[in-house]
Chains A and B, each alone.
Chain A
Amino acid sequence: MVRTLGLKKYFKDPKTGTKKAVDGIDIEATPGRIFGLLGVNGAGKTTVLRMLSTVLKPTEGSGSVAGLDIVKDAAKVRASIGFMSNSTALYGRLTSKEVIQYFGTLYGLSEQRLAERMSYVMDKLDIHEFADRYCDKLSTGQKQRVSIARTILHDPPVLFFDEPTAGLDVVTSQTVMEFIEEARDLGKTVIFSTHIMSEVDRLCDDVAVIHDGVVVASGSPDTMKQMTGERSLERAFLQLVKFQAGYVSAKQANP
């Protein structure tokens, strides 16, 4: 279970003053379901995930992951989560096997448990054929499989995915999405951040639309469509974020 209450994150910028990246977000993700964080670039999705994964401390509000407070029990929270993002890279001068092993030791797995889990994830993701190859030499798809292995190695009850398919080809994206569905079926709590509507339609049981750091709507994807009277989730989303022609470019010019 992941829950936030009035979660806020403000950044101080000497030039532009205070930036409200996240301004009071309440969400609740439950085990065995995929919770989608939907929003345009810069909406605050990654900041929410960074707070939930204890990389950033909230300015205000509270959050819990697997029943643990994200501020008071930060180390335990980190032990209970797996985090995967398309932008996170691997260590180029380590082999696939070494990367997986390294993170296993950092998550405190015993030698026997580590051996068992490594064997499981490497079998499952078919990593053996490139296990001893440096990560620098892997294809994008192979890298993504190693990233998934790293994410699930310690068998965490909560998984965060921050735009995990961005920039990936169709085949690799498919692997990632199948893996997310499998995690849900195994009873994991999954939070999935994206701006690709087809993925939300396919994967998410619950959705929160984030815009300018606040939740503008939440519910199932069908609820979103009903709320806006739109047939597609994409159009529903655009209506929810009050899309007007030129909105994005104008916002980028005058943030």
Chain B
Amino acid sequence: MNDTMKIARKELREMFRDKRVKFGAFVMPIFLILMMVQLFGFIIGAAKGAVKSTIYIAGIPSDLSKTFETAGMTVKTVPTVDEGIKLVKEEQAKLVLAVKPPTSEGQIVIEAYYDPKQQMAQLALSGIAQALAKDNKTVLAKILKEKGIPESAAEHIKVIPKQVEVGAKGAGELIVGFLPYMIVLFAFSGGMSMAADLVAGEKDKNTLETLLITPVGRNQIVFGKVLALAIVCFLSSFSCVVGLFLASILKLPGSAEMFKDGFGVTPVAAGTIILLLLPLVAMFGSVLIAISSYARNPREAQTYLALVNFVVILPAVFSQVIGLTDLGSKLWINLIPVLNSANNIRNALLGKTDWTAVLITFGMSAFLASIAIWVAVRLFNREEVLVRV
């Protein structure tokens, strides 16, 4: 076994015995993913429920009550509109309908009272519109038929949505929304808890000097530490996929909503994620070791690491909403570190892996990893940095 591997093996042994690593790097991502799946599942369920929520009809119940009840809503009555508005103000009713008498042209006007600041009320309103659309269409068809006019005349231009299958089958929209962010985030923060200990901590505890006095070269020491930390970063990051897999098989509340089409992470997507993570964790591991080498003690290192964490979080957050722009498909986006990895992971999860983009991202991350490791080695070889006197 060469010296780099000896150092890495010892560091890994120590890290795997550390509670901070066990919980922060491995348990936490799995726990967070399980929580997020449940949370998003609950929100989707609640949104669906809001469409079929309780509505109030002011005055005498009309025949429309049956239409709403057929659509799954619960219909209650209030004596007057004013009392209905009072209920809205007191947040006891989401939607109050006041059904007006038919006009001379036979149109029934319904005034819908709701609080526009309440999202649940808006969902209930859209539920009403959906329920009435079917009725409106039936009535219109009947009138047109009586007058001998074809039904198509009511819709001069008709849009028929037709879904086109692009790429392979992928993960659900919500999973694609948060998983790339989590994967990239834990690729950094998974190693953050231990990074301060690996060099700055050794300086502080005076164990570094005993290591420097062995025949092992300084470059081998730094390579060993980077390798160990990169492995922890990788495992922490991949724990997110493990967490998602657990959520899909454990049938937790919310799982049904999130995994309508199954687990969603195909073998190709998993392979692409691993490929993208390798240079990314090498870069993160090197950056973390460089910071730890530069700092005088673990506290100073933690301060620097917290600041650098924001540099990782920002592009990772942007990856969550990149789908709202067409930037994700531009090749130059693959030159932006962190964002490029997150975007390609997103595409892989959607089943739309673009191998050119993956290769550019891999190359870019590998290039930055080389620079980061060069900086880490340089810092580790500077005696004024390593042995502060």
Seen from chain A, the residues whose Cβ lies within 8 Å of a Cβ on chain B are 11-12, 21, 47, 50, 53-57, 75-76, 78-79, 81, 83, 85, 87-91, 93-94, 98, 102-103, 105-108, 150
Contact = CB atoms under 8 A, between A and B. Distances in A.
B13 A94 contact: yes
Contact of B213 (A47, A55, A89, A98): A55
Interface string B101-130: 000000000000000000000000000000
Given A21-B389, A103-B214, A57 B206 contact: no
B215 interface: yes
Contacts of A75: 215, 217
Interface in B1-60: 1, 3, 6-7, 10, 13-14, 17-18
Contact of B14 (A21, A81, A94, A150): A94
A50 B210 contact: no
Contacts of B209: 50, 55, 83, 85, 88
A107 B7 CA distance: 12
A55 B215 contact: no
Interface in B179-195: none
A128 B70 CA distance: 80
B308 to A, nearest CB: 24
B3, B14, B210, B383: most-surrounded residue (chain A CB, <10 A): B210
A21 B388 CA distance: 13
Nearest to A87: B206
B1 A106 contact: no
A231 to B, nearest CB: 36
- Kindly list the 5 A-B residue pairs having the minimum CB-CB distance in the complex, ordered from nearest: A106-B214, A79-B215, A89-B205, A93-B17, A93-B14
Contacts of A12: 384
B387 interface: yes
B207 interface: yes
B207 A91 contact: yes
A167 to B, nearest CB: 13
B211 to A, nearest CB: 8
A69 B265 CA distance: 59
B212 interface: yes
Contacts of B64: none
A88 B207 contact: yes
B216 interface: yes
A53 B213 contact: yes
A109 to B, nearest CB: 11
Nearest to A57: B383
A94 B202 CA distance: 14
A172 B41 CA distance: 62
16 contacts: A11-B389, A55-B387, A75-B217, A81-B213, A83-B213, A88-B206, A88-B210, A91-B14, A93-B17, A98-B13, A102-B6, A102-B10, A106-B3, A106-B7, A106-B215, A106-B216
Contacts of A56: 383, 387
A134 B33 CA distance: 34
Contacts of A88: 206-207, 209-210
A87 B211 CA distance: 14
A74 B219 CA distance: 14
Interface string B368-389: 0000000000000001100101
Nearest to A105: B6
Contacts of B384: 11-12
Contacts of B13: 93-94, 98
B14 A85 contact: no
A85 B206 contact: yes
A107 B211 CA distance: 10
B269 to A, nearest CB: 36
A104 to B, nearest CB: 10
Given A50-B387, A105-B6, A106-B3, A83 B14 contact: no
Nearest to A84: B210
A10 B21 CA distance: 40
Contacts of A108: 215
Contacts of A102: 6, 10
Contacts of A103: 210, 214
A225 to B, nearest CB: 33
A76 B216 CA distance: 10
A72 B17 CA distance: 39
